Amino acid sequence: MPPPERIPSRRMSGPELPPDTELLARGELTVRGRVGEASNAVLYCTVAHGGREAACVYKPVAGERPLWDFPDGTLAEREVAAYALSEATGWGLVPPTVLRDGPYGEGMVQLWIEADPGARLLALTEDEEAGEGWRAIGPAEVGEGRTALLVHADTPDLRRLAVLDAVMNNGDRKGGHLLPAPGGRLYGIDHGVSFHTEDKLRTLLWGWAGEELPAEAVEVLGGLARTLAPGGPLATRLGELLTDAEVAAVRDRVAALLASGRHPEPSGEWPAIPWPPV
């Protein structure tokens, strides 16, 4: 059964857009190849507009495999919703992302981020505890009956991303979905299985589980609560991409984080770490 027809208001097509989103939304999209062997179509493209050109990722809705636990909407819409949420925090943790028509129909188009190959965000250690500058995730099998401690870096941006994931209920925060860019900036990608109304948080970023939220995060969550109020700008934007129940669940998760004042902990009702983890 074909997906329902989309309405233009879901796309970023206003008269004034930030330079990167304008390029992605209005530029000429040219497919250059396919990215990896993903279960959904992921195409490497270039986009050109107004004398600018950039590399980008295009994920057409027509190339999405149906998910039984995400019967509403599309992966592409949730990817764009994740960008809208990230921008509302002011943290800029998701690359510019738009919903637009392309060579294979409507899909998500996201600015390509070239990762810094020298950056280390994940590691294995034979020590019983994470060393300075690292946070423990849990034991991992390394072969021949041996285990090691899997750790992630203890950085402000990773901690911000852990908060953002908790708000969007990210069900797939793998190591490969963390992109450390040259210069030290961090991006998170692949948010198609986010925003479920039930608790599906699966992530490698459990290093702060149960700890008190930083003051900065509390301030940002307070701002999200205001803009997520019915009729607020973020609530309106997310309402163009998600169901009413999903938007209400975002609002509830923000309220729960503010009420607890702490990073969430694994629920025990759902695998806490995605597989494969990288």
Higher local confidence (pLDDT), 67 or 27: 27
pLDDT band at 147 (very low <50, low <70, confident <90, very high): confident
Q: What is the pLDDT of residue 17?
A: 55
Tokens at 52, concatenated: 């600018």
**C-alpha span between 62 and 55 (Å, rounded):** 21
Residue 105 clears pLDDT 90, i.e. is over it: yes
- Percent pLDDT > 90 in the chain is 73
* CA dist 9 → 82, 100, 127 (Å): 17, 11, 53
Tell me the average pLDDT across 70-91: 95
**CA 93 vs CA 88, 89, 222: distances in Å:** 11, 9, 18
Q: Label residue 268 by pLDDT band (50, 70, 90).
A: confident
Q: How confident is the model at residue 16 (pLDDT cuts 50, 70, 90)?
A: low
Q: How many CA atoms lie within 13 A of 67 on its CB side?
A: 17
Give tens-digit pLDDT for 108-130: 999 999 999 889 999 988 888 88
**Average pLDDT over every residue of 32-54:** 91
pLDDT at residue 67, rounded to an integer: 86
Q: In 3D, which of 46, 18, 159, 155 has the Cα closest to residue 102?
A: 46
Tokens of 210: 């149960």
What's the CA gap between 1 and 56, in Å, rounded?
29
Sheet of strand 43-49, all strands in order from the earlier edge strand to the far edge: 28-34, 43-49, 52-60, 105-111, 97-102
- Helix ranges, 150-243 (H): 156-168, 215-227, 233-239
pTM: 0.91
Q: Which bin fits 268, alpha (ψ -120 to 50), beta or left (φ > 0)?
A: left
Residue 69 has pLDDT above 90, yes or no: no
Cα three-residue angle 247-81-165, rounded to 5 degrees? 80
